[in-house]
Amino acid sequence: MTLSLWIIDAFTDTPFRGNPAGVCLLPEPRPEAWMQALAAELKQSETAFLLPRDGGFGLRWFTPAVEVDLCGHATLASAHFLWEDGRLTPAEDARFHTRSGLLTAHRQGDGSIELDFPATHARPADPPDGLLDALGLSTGTVFRSRFDYLVVVDDAAQERGLAPDLARLSGVEARGVVVTAPGDNPGTDFVSRFFAPSVGVPEDPVTGSAHCTLGPYWVERLGRNPLVGYQASARGGTVRVELAGDRVRLGGRAVTVLRGAMEHR
């Protein structure tokens, strides 16, 4: 017996850009240790595991090191997989039962995908010891969300040029650290980068769940909605964000780069 196992680049329409995710469709539940071992084998920032249930799919996300509570790009990749593999018709929304509640994905007429995620508002916070130093920053406005620290700087060039001390960042008690600045190119409202060495992801190429915090912050600051964010990693990727009450709609595209079958052992 084999399992469908794909690699899909999310928040991009160009292969080898955006954020790659593994997507594995399970015919039956598998042990958590097995899923963690497969995620470590694939070495993607996240691998998504889908299991049909309750008129939708159970969805869990694993980095190479740990299971996480919320992941945007691997959810977008999972929805893309379900439509591309014919598990859903283009007119059907994808419904995911997750550790962060029910998440949905809608396929737009132009082929892009819109995710409905919970907003994770950030509050002003004192920076933990060593945070700014580890990022190579002398100043920065710091906030704390449910999952991450958010550090706001004034200059996108400064944000793009960061070379953080990842060993020191791994000691910060949070899933990750988001650094953001106003956009520096036409059509981009803000830029960001995301570092999560404590969960086995030194720098994530494009982090959908971080935009659940970035969206509310920049909508309030700029007074516009929706917005377009660009995550300025080496691969890069674009996320459309729209604040809708206590939810955030995340828009993007995905492209399949590998379709495989794994022996079911």
- What pLDDT is attached to residue 54? 87
Q: How many CB atoms lie within 10 A of CB 126?
A: 8
d(CA 99, CA 59): 8
The full set of domains in the chain, from first to last, is: 2-113+252-263 (3.10.310.10), 123-244 (3.10.310.10)
Q: Contact at 8 Å (CB) between 69 and 147?
A: yes
Helices (H) and strands (E) in the chain, counts: 6, 18
- What pLDDT is attached to residue 2? 84
pLDDT tens for the chain, 265 residues long, are: 689 999 999 999 999 999 999 999 999 999 999 999 999 999 999 999 999 998 999 999 999 999 999 999 999 999 999 999 999 999 999 999 999 999 999 999 999 999 999 999 999 999 999 999 999 999 999 999 999 999 999 999 999 999 999 999 999 999 999 999 999 999 999 999 999 999 999 999 999 999 999 999 999 999 999 999 999 999 999 999 999 999 999 999 999 999 999 886 6
Amino acid type, 103: L
For the question of residue 242 being annotated catalytic, the response is: no
Rg from Cα positions in the chain: 18
Catalytic residue among 28, 41, 46, 114: 46
Task: Please give the DSSP secondary-structure letter assigned to residue 199.
Answer: G
- What pLDDT is attached to residue 264? 67
Write down the residue that tokens 């980068």 correspond to.
Answer: 193
d(CA 255, CA 36): 24
